């Protein structure tokens, strides 16, 4: 059997991913959350995890450096999914990509400024609304932008809405429902079919069973 590399997304997605992988019999040999390592051997010989920021998971899978990965749909929408299959919606880490702005403040007419790290998603969304925008790329703390006057709206991930509320913002329009997806490099799917296909099928079974 050849080596199989699975790219996982750090942080909140990882917490929900590990139980799912354990349910299909795949477990890291050491505790990922307390380790500073980036690669982890698993209880299955030849299968290893690499742990990355979400934005890098699609890149590793796209280039085939990882055979498979678990990525938020937000990352797939933003970075595109060329060279990638997306066989399964894992139904975990659910949230929404939304526009948001200062609570109670009506959006001015005409051209507006939008701050986001989801530049491509935002461009497409406002174009679909026939709204002229200047997009400002930020790498974090998007909520600050409307408060300080950098932008009229933001496009960001909303789960409970607590982060928006804590900053005096309100959610406005939903752009997309987000959840984590199993992704597979297209070439790896062909070359390592015997290893990858059973893994997809057992993950599918676990998800279907938990969906009741």
| 3-state secondary structure (DSSP) of residue 76 | helix
47 vs 76, beta carbon nearer ligand AMP: 76
Pairing of the two strands 180-185 and 4-9: unpaired
Distance in Å, CB of 166 to ligand AMP, minimum: 8
d(CA 177, CA 199): 25
CB of 95 closer than 8 Å to CB of 178: yes
Distance in Å, CB of 78 to ligand AMP, minimum: 12
d(CA 185, CA 88): 13
Nearest alpha carbon to residue 114 among 139, 91, 95, 133? 133
| 3-state secondary structure (DSSP) of residue 182 | strand
32 vs 144, beta carbon nearer ligand AMP: 144
DSSP state of 33: G
67 vs 74, beta carbon nearer ligand AMP: 74
Distance in Å, CB of 164 to ligand AMP, minimum: 6
CB of 157 closer than 8 Å to CB of 95: yes
Q: Residue written as tokens 């069973």? A: 209
Q: What is the largest CA-CA distance in the chain?
A: 60
120 vs 132, beta carbon nearer ligand AMP: 120
Distance in Å, CB of 206 to ligand AMP, minimum: 19
Distance in Å, CB of 38 to ligand AMP, minimum: 20
152 vs 156, beta carbon nearer ligand AMP: 156
Interaction site with ligand AMP (CB under 6 A) = 12-13, 72, 93, 95, 156-163
Distance in Å, CB of 168 to ligand AMP, minimum: 13
27 vs 170, beta carbon nearer ligand AMP: 170
Our CA angle for 113, 114, 117, nearest 5°, is 145
């Amino acid at each position: 059997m050849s080596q199989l590399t699975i790219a996982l997304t750090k942080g909140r997605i990882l917490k929900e991913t590990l139980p799912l992988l354990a349910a299909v019999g795949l477990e890291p040999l050491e505790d990922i959350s307390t380790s500073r390592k980036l690669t982890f051997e698993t209880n299955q010989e030849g299968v290893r995890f690499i742990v990355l920021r979400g934005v890098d998971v699609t890149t590793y899978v796209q280039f085939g450096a990882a055979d498979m990965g678990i990525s938020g749909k937000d990352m797939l929408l933003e970075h595109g999914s060329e060279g990638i299959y997306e066989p399964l919606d894992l139904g975990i880490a659910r949230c929404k990509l939304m526009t948001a702005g200062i609570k109670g403040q009506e959006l001015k007419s005409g051209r507006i400024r939008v701050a986001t790290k989801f530049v491509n998603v935002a461009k497409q969304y406002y174009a679909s609304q026939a709204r002229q925008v200047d997009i400002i790329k930020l790498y974090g703390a998007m909520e600050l932008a409307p408060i300080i006057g950098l932008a009229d709206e933001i496009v960001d991930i909303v789960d409970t809405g607590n982060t928006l509320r804590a900053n005096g913002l309100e959610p406005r329009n939903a752009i997309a429902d987000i959840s984590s997806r199993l992704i597979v490099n297209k070439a790896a799917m062909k070359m390592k079919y015997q290893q990858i296909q059973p893994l997809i099928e057992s993950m599918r079974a676990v998800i279907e069973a938990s969906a009741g």
